[in-house]
Structure 1
Amino acid sequence: MERDIPWDLFDASRLSDEQAHSIKMNAIMEWAALPTTEMFLRDHRDDSDFSAFTSIWFFEQQKHAMVMMEYLLRFRPDLVPTEAELHEVRFEFDPAPALETVMLHFCGEVRLHHWYARAAEWHAEPVITAIYQTLALDEARHAAAHLRYLRQALDRRPGETQAAFTKIGALMTGDGGGSRASHPATLHVNQSLFPRDTVQSRMPDPGWLARWLDTQIRFDRACEGRVVAAILRDLSTLMGQGSASPEAWNRGEKEVAQAAD
């Protein structure tokens, strides 16, 4: 954190209250790596290799929340998240098919890479710009690591893995532009807590993510198209299908569901 972030370049004149509030919300959203890790370790109890990887992923992912909180502690201490605000997004996720959750988080890492690259462009203050650029690269690296695990799973359990690819790929790519906010933080994960069972709904400002995407970093249809293209390119390569469209993945998901019936 000391070597990679140019803290001495801070320029208070280039940080607005709106941007500082957004950094706080983003820090809290990233804190949800904690319950995600607890879910992964529970649901992958029979896979020691992936569990060991999860512990490293958690160490790196948690630094995303911590570096944004360090930024606020240094430059906007009035906005540092409280323990209660952080703990609110630590809640139990219902058990789910293990491969589907890995696939879901692979897609989430790809999406975060693009979100954070866009956030770096929106911010003008040099230190937070550098932080978002660093986080964007981190998320791309994490996506690549999840993709390697999915490749191993495809070799070991091809049928189950292909079904997970198809189902979650359809969910996370939608129609190529309408699923802009499809991310693990926006999905319902605990039936007993519904409707407050998404990370987003348990944040102090539940409407923040939509505003951030719509009016702040302006993550528009073209940006979403790049996310969808990246996800489909990687999954199509894994499955040896060449280039697939969102419509093809949706058709594949329906075929999988019909076969299950």
Structure 2
Amino acid sequence: MLYPELFKQLESVRWDMDKDIPWDKFDAAQLSDEQAQTIKMNAITEWSALPATEMFLRDNRDDSDFSAFMSIWFFEEQKHSLVLIEYLKRFRPDLVPTEEELHEVRFEFEPAPALETLMLHFCGEIRLNHWYRRASEWHTEPVIKHIYMTLSQDEARHGGAYLRYMKRAINKFGNEAKAAFTKIGVLMASARRTAQALHPTNLHVNKALFPRDTIQSRLPDPEWLEQWLDTQINFDAVWENKVVERILHNMSLLMDRSFKTVQELNRYRKEVAALVAGAPASAAPGAA
């Protein structure tokens, strides 16, 4: 089981909201209304760990190890929402999300293949790590800069934990797991070609609720994410390339094959998919 070791590792670096956040360093002159509004939206977005956890537990009923790890992930993600809310309570109480606004992002996700969902959230952690690093640079107020860097480090650790479970899945399921991971890897590393940000909170997850079946669509301002990325934290091509590089690097480690471009990963995806479909080996040259 991975859970006991991951619990010990993450417990050893867990930060304390009272002791490790420099609340006394707050500088009101360095916090604009525009910046404060984005903090509220991120606080609500982080609250969506609740329905995501419900999804993970439902779709992984046969995996008690991973389900136990959800106790760590859920706690730390909800803590992200809590620290952002605490910041607003202290310094911008007029922007504290209401219970109704938080509850609005709790809705049922349709069942999905567990391996693909695992890869989707692994990529989501990589992306959020980079978003929060950029957010820390964009903000000018010292306390929120510190908070976003703290959250970004958590997201990186969560990605590392997901990677452990992905390695375990490959050992257990072989090409089936490789096919699932490369399929989502190609999708999530191709964000520059899409009109919207590719992150779990911005993907459609319940046809019956369309078009309000994404986390972002249920926020008080459904348009905030694109504005935050494009015109506020300026998550440009340079930063997007950092995300793609991390995805390709980790796919290389997982598959024991070097991928320098999304195209190379996509070719490998086709090779593995052919093997899973039972195609002749000659149709999938070089497949692992």
TM-score interval for Structure 1 and Structure 2 normalised by the shorter chain: over 0.9
1:101 to 2:122 alignment: no
1:27 to 2:43 alignment: yes
1:5 to 2:16 alignment: no
2:108 to 81, 92, 97: 92
Q: Secondary structure at the match of 2:193?
A: coil
Cα gap change, 1:159/1:254 in structure 2, threshold over 3 Å: closer, same or farther?
Answer: closer
- Which residue of the partner structure matches residue 87 of structure 2? 71
- Deviation readout 1:107-150 (Å, 9 max, x if unpaired): 00000000000000000100000000100100000000000110
Q: Secondary structure at the match of 1:96?
A: coil
Aligned equivalents of 2:79, 2:143: Cα separation in 1: 16
- Which residue of the partner structure matches residue 218 of structure 2? 202
1:117 to 133, 136, 142: 133
2:250 to 209, 223, 234: 234
Aligned equivalents of 1:240, 1:151: Cα separation in 2: 11
- Deviation readout 1:200-257 (Å, 9 max, x if unpaired): 1111101100000000000001100000000110111110112341112234445566
2:199 to 160, 176, 183: 183
1:169 to 2:185 alignment: yes
Aligned equivalents of 1:256, 1:154: Cα separation in 2: 12
Aligned equivalents of 1:87, 1:158: Cα separation in 2: 39
- Tell me by how many angstroms 1:194 deviates: 1.0
Aligned equivalents of 2:269, 2:206: Cα separation in 1: 23
Aligned equivalents of 2:33, 2:236: Cα separation in 1: 23
- Which residue of the partner structure matches residue 39 of structure 1? 55
Q: Percent identity?
A: 65
Counterparts in 2 of 1:119-158, with a 5 A limit?
Answer: 119-158=135-174
2:238 to 212, 222, 240: 222
Cα gap change, 1:243/1:143 in structure 2, threshold over 3 Å: closer, same or farther?
Answer: same
Aligned equivalents of 1:192, 1:35: Cα separation in 2: 16
- Deviation readout 1:169-200 (Å, 9 max, x if unpaired): 0110016x335711000100001111110101
For the aligned residues, what is the CA RMSD?
1.5
- Tell me by how many angstroms 1:96 deviates: 0.3
Aligned equivalents of 2:172, 2:232: Cα separation in 1: 43
Instruction: Name stretches of at least 5 consecutive residues in structure 2 with no aligned partner.
Output: 1-16, 279-288
- Which residue of the partner structure matches residue 80 of structure 1? 96
1:193 to 197, 204, 209: 209
Cα gap change, 1:217/1:59 in structure 2, threshold over 3 Å: closer, same or farther?
Answer: same
Q: Which amino acid aligns with 1:88?
A: E
1:58 to 65, 74, 80: 74
Q: Which amino acid aligns with 2:193?
A: G
Larger radius of gyration between Structure 1 and Structure 2:
2
Matched residues, number = 260
- Which residue of the partner structure matches residue 8 of structure 2? none
Q: Which amino acid aligns with 1:58?
A: F
